[in-house]
Amino acid sequence: MKMTEENSDNKKEDQNKQKETPVWEWIIAAAGLILVVGAVGLTFYRATTEDKTPPQLTIEVDSIEPNGSGYLVKFAVKNTGNQTAAAVAVEGELKSETETVETSGATLTYSPANSKRRGGLFFTRDPQQFQLQIRVTGYEEP
């Protein structure tokens, strides 16, 4: 009978040890809670205090390179505003003095606030032989 009592006492002790949460788990849980609360707090703070400036889109040419039977003009659109722009339309023109020789267009799916997105325009003629004008022509609100 003593054997069974000792066995049951040992089993209870083992169960109690298994139920206790180690200190390192509490530390990791607390760190996770701090990160989640901090992220939610920062999001709420930014949503309530930042100005809702519209997208401010600027464009710059990164490079011009031969591509198959034509030329590729790589560009970057920078959004310095606090709102996202969707369907950003970009237009490029090759001009010879006042006459437009060729046009090309592209649409960027979106340009998040304070970001830079890249794209390209294809031309059949060499953009370096003409005056290249590239601009953002419009966007949609997401």
Q: Which pLDDT belongs to residue 49?
A: 81
User: Would you list the DSSP string of 15-61?
Assistant: HHHHHSPPHHHHHHHHHHHHHHHHHHHHHHHHHHHS--PPP-EEEEE
Residue 83: domain span: 57-140
pLDDT tops 90 at residue 4 = no
pTM of the full predicted structure?
0.67
| Span 113-122, average pLDDT | 94
Q: Are residues 45 and 68 in the same domain?
A: no
Backbone region of residue 62 per phi and psi (left: phi > 0; alpha: psi in -120 to 50; beta: other values): alpha
| The total number of structural domains that make up the chain | 2
What is the C-alpha separation between 49 and 76, in angstroms, rounded? 29
Q: Are residues 74 and 26 in the same domain?
A: no
Q: Which pLDDT belongs to residue 18?
A: 65
The CATH code of the domain that includes 124 is 2.60.40.1620
pLDDT band at 52 (very low <50, low <70, confident <90, very high): confident
Q: Are residues 34 and 95 in the same domain?
A: no
